[in-house]
Amino acid sequence: MAISNLKLPAQVLGFGLSNAEQLAGELAVTVANALRLAIETRGVASLVVSGGRSPIVFFERLARQELDWSRVAVSLADERWVPVSHADSNEGLVRRHLLQGAAAKARFVGLYQPAASLEESAALAHLALAELPQPIDVLVLGMGEDGHTASLFPASINLDLALSVDCTQRCLPMHAPSVPHQRLSMPLALLAGARLTLLAVQGRGKLDTLKQALAAEGDAQMPIRAFLRHPLEIYWCP
């Protein structure tokens, strides 16, 4: 695998992992260590995770890490605008796979808020997120093969605001052109302020996406680019 061809000047590389199980285990240890440090330093810690299909094993490994979960606040980088009981709900995923056992003591601050419109729901989530300790201590991002991260999709309505460093909203309504559900997403300004950002990606398709993102410019075409300019650790496995 031609990892050495990848040029990531600002990043620490978490490559060399052989499978998804190993990636999940290493990532869980890194996240737990950072949360422990935050608790030691500030008494509380905030963790923002991503949804989708790939983080399940990581969530289950993280839930088993020994730490004072009662001092941890957990939230999501993005959410599908569906009730928590829906199979596509990121909150549902977190509740089923991360907030289990000792980790059930963590405080969860969700983005999904029942409301008449996506815009109202995002405004309510903005208010709810005031309860999340900020800056975010640990952020775990995922990425789609189209270069989206969180719910910052290429060419989506609201993307300019979502990528603006001046955005003061903690949650934005996002209309993703390529996926079934409307979305709620934390914007770049909030996400990029995280003390530690980890990007977890699996498979050669996503490695190609990363290389493509690094090879050219244009955040609107590939929103992940906006994060690659900040320090982050990339965890990749085939």
Ligand X SMILES: O=C1O[C@H](COP(=O)(O)O)[C@@H](O)[C@H](O)[C@H]1O
Q: Which residues bind ligand X (CB under 6 A)?
A: 50-54, 77-78, 90, 142-144, 150-151
Closest separation in Å from C-beta 142 to ligand X: 2
Residue 15 CB, shortest distance to ligand X, in Å, is: 17
Q: How far apart are CA 24 and CA 2, in angstroms?
A: 22
- Shorter beta-carbon distance to ligand X: residue 71 or 144: 144
**Rounded to whole angstroms, what are the CA distances from 191 to 45, 55, 205, 230?**
15, 18, 24, 11
The one-letter amino acid at 144: G
Distance between CA atoms of residues 43 and 147, nearest Å: 35
CA dist 154 and 178 (Å) reads 9
**In the complex, minimum distance from the CB of residue 53 to ligand X, in angstroms, rounded to a whole number:** 4
Q: Which is nearer to ligand X, 24 or 39 (CB)?
A: 24
Please list the residues that pair with 188 across neighbouring strands.
none
**Cβ distance to ligand X smaller for residue 39 or 92:** 92
Q: How far is the CB of 62 from ligand X (least distance, A)?
A: 15
Q: How far is the CB of 151 from ligand X (least distance, A)?
A: 6
CA distance 191 to 75: 11
Q: How far apart are CA 26 and CA 53, in angstroms?
A: 18
Closest to ligand X by CB, 142 vs 154, is: 142
Give the residue with the Cβ less far from ligand X, 39 or 150: 150
